[in-house]
Amino acid sequence: MKRIAMFVLALVSMFSASAEDGSRLWLRYDKVLRATVTGPECIAAQELRNYYDGERVNLVIDAAMAQDAYRIQGYTITAKNETGLLYGAYALLRGETGYSAPQWPLRILNHWDNLDGSIERGYAGKSIFWETSSGKQIDDNTPVLQRSEVLPLTGERREGLINYARANASIGINGTVLNNVNASPKMLSAPYLQQVKEIAAILRPYGIKVYLSVNFASPMALGGLKTADPLDKQVAAWWKAKAKEIYRLIPDFGGFLVKANSEGQPGPGDYHRTHAQGANMLADAVKPYGGIIMWRSFVYGANHKGEDRVKQAVSEFVGDDGKFRDNVILQSKNGPLDFQPREPYAPIFDNMLRTPQMAELQITQEYLGQSRHLVYLAPIWQEFFGFVNPDRLVGIAGVANIGMDRNWCGHHFSQANWYAFGRLAWNPRLTSEEIAKEWIRQTWGKTHAALLSMMLRSREACVDYMMPLGLHHIFKFDHHYGPEPDGFKANYPLEWCPVYYHQADSLGIGFERSHIGSDATSQYAEPYRSLYDDLRTCPEEYLLWFHHVPWAYRMRNGHTLWENIQEHYNHGVAEVEDFVRIWQDAKPFIDDQRWQETNDRLLHQLDNAREWRKVCLDYFRTFAEGKR
Ligand code: GCW
């Protein structure tokens, strides 16, 4: 009887293996149902029983182990609790042995998902968490929905969330923010909190806590108060009551993420209060339940007339250093501007030494070809950790690239970025190469050297065909995809205009940020302050970020700057041409659907890379070759 069952299962798994559509991510285990698993009955035991291709596994709980750590020794996995065992089980399934513990206790995905199912900067379909049952749009004027209007989590939705949880647990992610930082106050209304409770119940067994982004003006929009001033007693009381309501539903709720006084979002600044005053008021509300506040430092604009945008976060926050409650964490993007293909690290990490900090990385490729280009992001993050010591951070957040698309991330290779984020959140000292190898083996079946080479070169290729040598933000308005180096709109904030960033003129190109310019270099700690300030020592990959450089300037390879710019664009395009060749050669080894879909995207990427080169060089040439 058991034999027949196994035969049927094998057949089923053969069929599902042939229909490779990317939906199984890197968890492409075939059912083997072989292992005898002893120890506590838990999800780790289930997963091993289903998928471990060995005879037996012992699961052992040892209270003396560090939180989330595991040890794999022979047939035994030891951990402090079931979550640790689960991490150990997935590690065993990917062939790991030995002891492992995570760098940070907070390893969190940020979903920029809106309540109507759309996703800000999402390129892989609709939200996996939210949708109205009528499919209707939700805006500020929509009344609070009835529970029945919020999509129920049944059937495939529920299955999807379980698989989302498995995927996250398999790489150690233990928290998720369910909604956009541009947050609707309705998020905190009762029908939605019910939904959050249900999502939390699905994710909890996988060791994942839920968090919410909150709108700072919620007490007005939702509570009918006349103000959201953090020093107002009624406002503080409203948040306390809201926290109580949330924790009654979800006792292990993680806390709030806040985007305040940034890009039009409300915040304490509206009442002439500081970020610390705003954050602390919220921190006091969640403190009794062990909650945290992740307060973002991504601010620029109104209050900083004329100041170089990349300096504004430090200017605005430095006075608050040391003034935050101990359950507030400042969350900052890796670079001082906005998730560009290459930026120097954000100097806020040098300036807030008495404030716990988290880094926010972007998994969704907003400025790196979205989910149409193959760009493996681990090298960017590794580069960042080369400047900002992971030991100085208390956690890490990644803006998710996940949606309802069959393959979750739009591009089959964008899955690697989700995977790499989790692995680096666990251990930021893993190399991009180690992670890519792991991912390729699990996702494509074996170690393909050519795929590895393509992935490892892809980020630098993107920098080269989009904006080499420290150029930045020369994207088309708003959609952040194609090139628009001549972009300027008089009625737009200057900080959104490409011409503001590259400053090309008849003399040269680049943004002068040394002491003779905006002096952004002075926000850096040594040795970087001096290194970046001096044109002669500034690394060439940041050259035009920090300096306005003459077109005829001699670069390290002996060629002029203008020649170098052209060489980089050409190199970027040549790299993508090579990726297309690599993929052609890989055809015999790759299943049809994934091969075809990836091939289509690579060809599209090549068109785009050529367009970037043409548009940028044609435009810059008019200055460089003295035609203006
Ligand atoms: O890069 C900008 C994005 C916005 C985003 C903002 C932020 C969520 O273009 O879409 O808003 O950053 O990080 O707050």
Residue 148's pLDDT is: 66
The yes-or-no verdict on residue 628 having pLDDT over 80 is no
> What is the residue with the minimal CA distance to atom 1 of ligand 1?
338
pLDDT band at residue 9 using 50, 70 and 90 as cut-offs: very low
Mean pLDDT, rounded, for 580-592: 96
Instruction: Tell me which residue has tokens 């599209």.
Output: 604
3-state secondary structure of 504: coil
Indicate which atom in ligand 1 lies nearest the CA of residue 259. Answer: 14
Sequence-separated (6 or more) residues with CB below 8 Å from residue 225: 219, 232, 234, 235, 238
Sequence-separated (6 or more) residues with CB below 8 Å from residue 95: none
DSSP state of 113: B
Residue 601's pLDDT is: 98
Question: Cα separation of 146 and 135, whole Å?
Answer: 14
**% the chain with pLDDT above 90:** 88
Q: Is 80 exposed, middle or buried (0-12, 13-18, 19+ CB in 10 A)?
A: middle
Question: Cα separation of 17 and 30, whole Å?
Answer: 8
Catalytic entry in 47, 116, 316, 366: 366
- Tell me if residue 338 is catalytic: yes
Task: Read off the pLDDT of residues 162-191 as tens digits, 9 standing for 90 and up.
Answer: 999 999 999 999 999 999 999 999 999 999
Question: Cα separation of 580 and 574, whole Å?
Answer: 10
Query: Residue 262 Cα, ligand 1 centroid: separation in angstroms?
Result: 9
Q: Lowest-confidence range among 344-353, 387-396, 488-497, 574-583?
A: 488-497
- Contact between 52 and 92 under an 8 Å Cβ cutoff? The reply is yes
Catalytic entry in 113, 338, 495, 533: 338
Task: Read off the pLDDT of residues 10-54 as tens digits, 9 standing for 90 and up.
Answer: 444 444 445 799 999 999 999 998 899 999 999 999 999 999 999
> What is the residue with the minimal CA distance to atom 3 of ligand 1?
121
Classify domain 106-447 at the CATH superfamily level: Glycosidases (3.20.20.80)
Query: Residue 182 Cα, ligand 1 centroid: separation in angstroms?
Result: 8
The yes-or-no verdict on residue 437 having pLDDT over 70 is yes
Query: Residue 521 Cα, ligand 1 centroid: separation in angstroms?
Result: 24
Query: Residue 156 Cα, ligand 1 centroid: separation in angstroms?
Result: 30
DSSP state of 132: B
- Cα→Cα distances 543→382, 496, 513, 524, 559, Å: 20, 21, 10, 16, 15
pLDDT band at residue 495 using 50, 70 and 90 as cut-offs: confident
Task: Read off the pLDDT of residues 321-371 as tens digits, 9 standing for 90 and up.
Answer: 999 999 999 999 999 999 999 999 999 999 999 999 999 999 999 999 999
Query: Residue 333 Cα, ligand 1 centroid: separation in angstroms?
Result: 11
The total number of residues written for the chain in this structure: 628
Q: Look at residues 303, 317, 329 and name the one whose alpha carbon lies nearest to residue 274.
A: 317
Residue 492's pLDDT is: 80
Residue 199's pLDDT is: 97
Handedness of CA 177, 182, 187, 192 (dihedral sign): negative
3-state secondary structure of 293: strand
- Contact between 526 and 534 under an 8 Å Cβ cutoff? The reply is no
Question: Cα separation of 517 and 15, whole Å?
Answer: 63
Question: Cα separation of 112 and 119, whole Å?
Answer: 6
Query: What's the CATH code, domain 464-511+548-624?
Result: 3.90.1330.10
Q: Which of 110, 112, 113, 121 to mutate to test the pocket of ligand 1 (most atoms within 8 A of CB)?
A: 121
| Residue boundaries of the structural domains of the chain | 31-100, 106-447, 464-511+548-624
Indicate which atom in ligand 1 lies nearest the CA of residue 338. Answer: 1
- Tell me if residue 96 is catalytic: no
- Tell me if residue 116 is catalytic: no
Question: Cα separation of 416 and 249, whole Å?
Answer: 35
The yes-or-no verdict on residue 603 having pLDDT over 70 is yes
CATH architecture of 31-100: 2-Layer Sandwich (3.30)
The yes-or-no verdict on residue 242 having pLDDT over 80 is yes
Backbone angles phi, psi at 155, to 5 degrees: 50, -130
Sequence-separated (6 or more) residues with CB below 8 Å from residue 624: 509, 551, 562, 565
- Name all residues whose Cβ lies below 6 A of ligand 1: 112, 120-121, 181-182, 259, 263, 298, 338-339
Question: Cα separation of 472 and 319, whole Å?
Answer: 28
Cα Rg of the chain, angstroms: 25
Residue 17's pLDDT is: 43
